[in-house]
Structure 1
Amino acid sequence: MPVLTVPTPARTGASATVIRAVRAWQLPPQPVGLPHGLPEPLAAAASDPPAGPGWAEHRTRFAIELVGDGVSGWQAPVGETVAQIIADDLAAGLIGHDAAAPRRLAYRKKTGRHRSGAHARLASSAVELACWDLASRAAGVSVTGLLGGAVRRTVPAYASALGLDPSHSEAQEAAAWITKAGFWGQKWPLTKQLILAGPGAVAKALTPLREAAGEGRFMVDGLGRCRLDEAMRLLPVLADLQVAFAEELVPPGSWSWHRLRAAGAGVPLAAGENAVDEAEQVRLLTGGGVDVWQIDPGWSGGLARSLHTTELAADLGMATFPHGDRLPAALALAGACCRDKIPAVEWHLTLEPLRQQIFTNPVQGEGGRLAVRSAPGLTEVPRLPEKTAVLEVTGP
């Protein structure tokens, strides 16, 4: 990524939250394989190899720094494409912006022509979260405090078992471990092999896991892998399993999605994490096709947008379960909301410990609960192996 430098203007009476420079620092790639110290029941049932560490955005990663007067705001990790969009389209327009004014962020100048789509939204979300981090550190107040104050100090987490194989012979022991660990619930993937094997195979694989979950909630994630006919045949099985929700059996908002929703069968349908653009979020929320709302502050436009859609979902009778890709931001959001609005956040069993390795003090749970950060800053400052930023934009 090329280094871009613009002369810095004279500074006259501005607050510490005014952005003076934008920097990007390259981080080491996410480690391949399972995280060290993963409990044996989980490691035994893990997919081989785990998919996540092989993704391009995990191999080349950056930390974004927004530099104020004597204080910086951070967001990490972001992938190479997202970092490049920030450098090309957003960085110059951020200079002079007051990070303590999140509603004015959308009106800053952009230098590229593309405003929508997943990567553009990821870039704008990363910048928005870094602004919250900068404003929080400058004010000496937690991000949850800036959102209106903490409603609770800890938040329940549900265990995402997407890195585990539900058909594995050790999967039941893994499900029992999750229950014993105190998680609010557990979510298992519907692998493509399982979907192709048919409803009988799904019931055979998931019934022991449901039994091991006991009183804990049990969810499934189709990852958008089902055809409509496959999803329709799965509904009675999922109803018998009394799933708390089924996530993205088919692509949300599609024709197939609405057919599936019309079929009912008492299976709550969850979506939202991939609804990156505002119009798509509104369509899903108000279109009558979603029972459970999922939002990711790192994908949806940032914290302010996530809080807005969480409140809208609550008004429409839906609970929100923030997606786990930006766990610190999800925790700040959940800390500012009551349990009826956000009952739990997602903890990815095999992926989150790898994400947290860039921080000196990683987020860790206890008894199935995660602490809401009370110190200034959205996250810990990431560990930077390089002494020189690969991008720096200053002025005009």
Structure 2
Amino acid sequence: MTALTLPAPLPTTGSAATVIRAVRAWQLAPQPAGLPQGLPEPVTAAAGEPPAGPAWAEHRTRFAVELVGDGVSGWQAPISEPVAQIIADDLAQGLIGHDAAAPRRLAYRKKTGRHHSGPHARQGASAIELACWDLASRAAGVSVTGLLGGTIRTTVPAYATALGLDPAHPAAPAAVAWIAEAGFWGQKWPLPKQLILAGPKAVAKTLSPLREAAGDGRFMVDALGRCRMDQAIGLLPVLADLDVAFVEDLVPPGTWAWHRLRSAQAGVALAAGEHAVDEAEQLRLLAGKAVDVWQVDPGWSGGLARSLHTTELAADLGMATFPHGDRLPAALALAGTCCRDTIPAIEWHLTVEPLRQEIFSAPLQIENGLLPVRTAPGLAEPLKLPAGTPAMEVTGP
């Protein structure tokens, strides 16, 4: 990233502690390779390919963004190098002088450059918005849920995402049974491309033992958008017979194939939303009744305020929301502000979330399928910054 020379701070009002005086980027350690330590044996036995870790550039070169107020800072991490560059190039200049305690003003701050839409731009805007909530919360000495309107509940159920596990592995039913016994709200398993290509009968043969092992527990499926339209339509009766609670991204949401699938569905709830990063796309999916289950990610969708807005809109339309777990502290703050009918559960990624949590000085722990909602100021515990790592300063003189 290239350091910026910015003009004098813009005029502002509000508490001096929450006025942004500087924007910094700190480089973090890479995501560790392989599976996290401490996973139960049934889970590790069923693992397919290990998490990407340093094999992916966004996991290898990671940053934390810091918004510096007067005597207090707000943080968000991890962000990838392209996202950090967009923050430096397009967002930092307009942040100087912004009052982080005025979230509705954030959208009107000056932007430079042309990167204002698309996944990386929205991740950058989301990271800044979340860091503003973190700064405002720490400056006020109030939890983020308190700032959002009040803490409705202090624990939130989690469903276990088993992406990274192989549903065809002989140990998979034992992993399913362990997840069910561990108290999770439910569990979500992947449909690998090779299994999709094998056809509906092969899918039924593979998933039936897993569904049986789950007992009365909720069982979900994620196809990661890998199906062709004809493949997806052929799978719907199989998934209905398996009593799947919802199926995620059989085909890319919002496409012509998605709408064809929507019209052909046979009693299977369709879930989507985590990749709907732009406001117009979110509204098309929700207002167009293109989904049955809403999935939002505060780190991708524009931040907490936007996530709360679409969550409440989904509730008005009769849909439950299951926040995506990529930014778990933010998802927990969102869920802690909502009742269980609005957000029944949030995502806990079995093989990835423990690795994500390693950047924090006190990682989040799950117990009996429940995650604690933070009642202290800030979105999360302090970050573990490598010793001697210099801050990249993107501020005025």
TM-score (ref. length: structure 1) = 0.97
In structure 2, the residue matched to 1:190 is: 191
Distance 2:18 2:43 in 1: 43
Distance 1:214 1:263 in 2: 28
In structure 1, the residue matched to 2:344 is: 343
Contact 2:156 2:336 in 1 (8 A): yes
The within-5 A match list for 1:130-279 is 130-279=131-280
Gaps of 5+ in 2: none
Deviation, 1:170, is: 0.5
Deviation, 1:172, is: 0.5
Distance 1:9 1:250 in 2: 46
Residue identity in the other structure for 1:89: D
Distance 1:259 1:69, change over 3 A: same
In structure 1, the residue matched to 2:2 is: 2
Contact 2:28 2:64 in 1 (8 A): yes
Distance 1:51 1:165 in 2: 15
Contact 1:33 1:53 in 2 (8 A): no
**Is the aligned partner of 1:123 residue 2:107?**
no
Distance 1:254 1:10, change over 3 A: closer
Deviation, 1:50, is: 2.8
Distance 1:282 1:249 in 2: 20
Deviation, 1:183, is: 0.1
Distance 2:341 2:391 in 1: 44
1:288-328 Cα offsets, whole Å, 9 max, x none, are 21000000000000000000000000000000000010000
Contact 2:361 2:384 in 1 (8 A): yes
Determine helix, strand or coil for the equivalent of 2:90.
helix
Determine helix, strand or coil for the equivalent of 1:394.
coil
Distance 2:395 2:61 in 1: 24
Contact 2:158 2:184 in 1 (8 A): yes
Deviation, 1:204, is: 1.1
Deviation, 1:163, is: 1.3
In structure 2, the residue matched to 1:312 is: 313
Residue identity in the other structure for 1:114: H
In structure 2, the residue matched to 1:361 is: 362
Contact 1:5 1:392 in 2 (8 A): no
Contact 1:3 1:390 in 2 (8 A): no
Contact 1:23 1:389 in 2 (8 A): no
In structure 2, the residue matched to 1:58 is: 59
Distance 2:69 2:169 in 1: 51
Contact 2:3 2:88 in 1 (8 A): no
Determine helix, strand or coil for the equivalent of 2:380.
coil
Moved more, 32-41 or 298-307: 32-41
Residue identity in the other structure for 1:3: A
Aligned length: 396
Distance 2:340 2:252 in 1: 28
Distance 2:17 2:227 in 1: 50
Distance 1:205 1:259 in 2: 26
Determine helix, strand or coil for the equivalent of 1:312.
helix
Determine helix, strand or coil for the equivalent of 1:317.
coil
1:121-176 Cα offsets, whole Å, 9 max, x none, are 00000000000000000000000110000110100000000010101110000000
* Identical amino acids, percent of aligned pairs: 79
1:85-124 Cα offsets, whole Å, 9 max, x none, are 0011101110000000011001011111221101000000
The within-5 A match list for 1:106-121 is 106-121=107-122
Deviation, 1:10, is: 11
In structure 2, the residue matched to 1:321 is: 322
Determine helix, strand or coil for the equivalent of 2:219.
strand
Contact 1:8 1:394 in 2 (8 A): no
Contact 1:129 1:302 in 2 (8 A): yes
Contact 1:21 1:395 in 2 (8 A): yes
Distance 1:50 1:10, change over 3 A: closer
Deviation, 1:14, is: 5.1
Contact 1:235 1:265 in 2 (8 A): yes
